Amino acid sequence: MLRNLCFAGRGTMIKTVLLDLSGVVYQDNELLSGALDAIAVLRQNGLHLKFVTNTTRSTKHETLQNLKSLGLQCEASELFMPAQAACTWLELNHCSPHLLVHPAIESEFSSCKQDRPVAVVVGDAGEAFNYTNLNHAFRVLQNGGPLLALAKNRYFRDKDGELSLDAGPFLAALEFACGRDALVLGKPSGVFFSLALHDTGCGLDEAAMIGDDVESDVSGALEARVGVGILVRTGKYRPNDETLFQPAPTAVVDNILAAADWILQHNAVAL
């Protein structure tokens, strides 16, 4: 309640809005109701937008093309994904990558410098998670370099309807082998939210996150000290989700358009 009271009065202006994609902007390859209006009104009011997704099997180019095919115009600079978070981290920390990621996104790392101390980058590599590749990564880790993860999901719903192993278990394997924890660069990692704002010149407290996943999107962002975390009742939202994790959402609203309204109203009060 204290949090809400705080925002009811004069507060920090929101300058950047972080938006999850699946379940917030679109669902099952269709834009959700009000998504285009919400995005338009946020832009008209001078807010920076950054679409943040944990996708680790598509390139940024493919994701942009997909958004375009749905009718959403989005600049490359407005889309932020874990592979980009990893590239930014590697550049800021003067490291070169040793990749154990899905072959589809290896090209995302082509511009990384190759002559620096090596960090192992693990993504959802699928069939590339074999003994030889994992052992190679383990041997690289013995130089003491960092272990980075694009995400640490346990499993995903596979094409056959059954659950299949995601990157998390293989990351746990390497963590156990080398005795060090990975730095997770996808949501809900605090590093992800910080890196997403890296090129905006906007502080964490000047950003708002809109998501349908109370843990990964909303609590993760608030934990990372993003100023506002708004949970929408679309996508994977289920009643009472807002009670499951701390920090609790700053607000719970019906959809992305209501979230945009909430932010504009907040900024009006904060003026």
Nearer to a copy of itself, 118 or 128 (CB): 128
- Give least dist CB 141 to a copy of itself, A: 10
- Give least dist CB 165 to a copy of itself, A: 5
Nearer to a copy of itself, 169 or 201 (CB): 169
Angle between helices 256-270 and 35-44 (to 10 degrees): 20
DSSP state, residue 22: B
Nearer to a copy of itself, 172 or 191 (CB): 172
Closest to 109 measured CA to CA, from 93, 88, 129, 92 = 88
Residue owning tokens 């730095």: 183
> Helical H runs in the chain?
2-8, 35-44, 60-70, 82-92, 131-141, 167-178, 190-196, 220-223, 256-270
- Give least dist CB 136 to a copy of itself, A: 10
Tell me the DSSP string of 106-142. GGGGTTS-SSS-EEEEE---GGG--HHHHHHHHHHHT
- Give least dist CB 158 to a copy of itself, A: 9
- Cβ atoms of 34 and 145 within 8 Å: the answer is no
Tell me the DSSP string of 174-199. HHHHHT---EE-STT-HHHHHHHTTT
Nearer to a copy of itself, 82 or 168 (CB): 168
Give residues in contact with a copy of itself (CB under 8 A): 126-132, 134-135, 138-139, 142, 154-155, 162-165, 168-170, 172-177, 179
Instruction: Determine the Cα–Cα distance for residues 80 and 222; give it in Å rounded to an integer.
Output: 18
- Give least dist CB 175 to a copy of itself, A: 7
- Give least dist CB 120 to a copy of itself, A: 13
Nearer to a copy of itself, 164 or 243 (CB): 164
Nearer to a copy of itself, 60 or 102 (CB): 102
- Cβ atoms of 257 and 34 within 8 Å: the answer is yes
32 Cβ neighbours under 8 A, 6+ residues apart: 23, 24, 25, 26, 234, 235, 255, 256
Nearer to a copy of itself, 39 or 174 (CB): 174
- Give least dist CB 60 to a copy of itself, A: 25
